[in-house]
Amino acid sequence: MEKYELLKKDDFEIFKSQEIKKIIFIGASDTGKTTLIKKVANYLIETNQDVIIFDCDIGQSHIGPPTTIGYAKLKQKIEDFYFEPDKFYFVGSISPSFAVVEFLTGIAKINQFLDKEESKILIDTTGYINDKLAISLKIYKIEILKPDFIFLLEKERELSEIENYLNNLSIKFRKIKVENIPLKSIEERFLYRKTRFLQYFRNLTLIFIDLKKISIKTTLLPTFTSFDNIEKLDLKGKICSLRDEFFNDICLGIIKEIKDKKIEIVIPKISFPIDKIKGINISSFNIQEYINF
């Protein structure tokens, strides 16, 4: 089934409405959310509307690398659906179920920037909907983002709990029945993440940072007990995020070594001064499964 044909003629009035700014697409994996967002974004650009895509799918990211959420303002129609983010937040995991606090914190932080925008905002979500935690995360995301419209892409009745939640709220929504969409294999999803990591971590440069001069945060790192024992941990290959003084993520890096209170990191070549780095967020996610460095 062509994903664009999932929308009816009346649906396009939704995108034309000046009262509707934020639109969330919710559905399980392989329900066509991302492809539909691409089609809608291109339609909006064709009708001379400003468009932002906010990508909350930390496992199959189309804006920024996996382990992050981020948004990008579109400058032209989408062909290859991958963009460097205008802003991003490092979650440190490829599944929100392992990083609930980090994931919702990132949603809230990015939303502060989105609320200042006048563009149409199309919001992609993860395909994680198969248990109580997943449904709760979707509901909390709706509460944080306060969308003007929601599309529920359903195969069976897997989103009925979200529908029941929305029935008594002022948020407008529409259900779309999807079928005959090919399922991606685990191998295909792994390969996609690997491609995106390789795309992000190219043209690398090596930097050294004095740990005594920056704030240190850890994400999903249970072996971390205090800053004094950080050199004893095996952190080679762990992804980290470099941050400015306002807790904004600047870029991701890969840890090579920590020695003598200095951390050695490879990062994509940068256009900002090293002294802008005021913090580091070290995650438990090891990228060596995807990249040899």
Question: What is the pLDDT confidence band of residue 248, given thresholds at 50, 70 and 90?
Answer: very high
Domain ranges of the chain: 3-187, 201-289
- pLDDT, residue 51, reads 96
Count of H helices and E strands in the chain?
6, 13
Mean pLDDT of the chain: 90
Pick the CATH number of 3-187 from 3.30.450.20, 3.40.1080.10, 2.40.50.100, 3.40.50.300: 3.40.50.300
> Per the structure block, which two tokens stand in for 21?
């700014």
Is residue 175 predicted with pLDDT exceeding 60? yes
CATH class assigned to 201-289: mainly beta
Which residue has tokens 């983002």? 145
Q: Tokens standing for 10?
A: 């009346």
DSSP letters of 107-138? Answer: HHHHHHHHTT--SEEEEE--S--SSHHHHHHH
Q: Is residue 104's pLDDT more than 80?
A: yes
Residue (of 176, 152, 122, 157) closest to 1 by Cα position? 176
Q: Is the pLDDT of residue 4 over 50?
A: no
pLDDT at position 69: 97
E strands in 75-203 = 87-90, 120-124, 149-154, 172-177
Which contiguous run of DSSP H or E holds residue 43?
helix 33-46
Provide the terminal-to-terminal Cα distance of the chain, rounded to the nearest Å: 41
**pLDDT tens for each residue of 54-99:** 999 999 999 999 999 999 999 889 888 888 999 999 999 999 999 9
- pLDDT per residue as tens digits for the range 214-231: 999 888 887 766 667 787
Q: Which of 251, 220, 213, 215 is nearest to 235 (CA)?
A: 220
Q: What is the pLDDT at residue 123?
A: 97
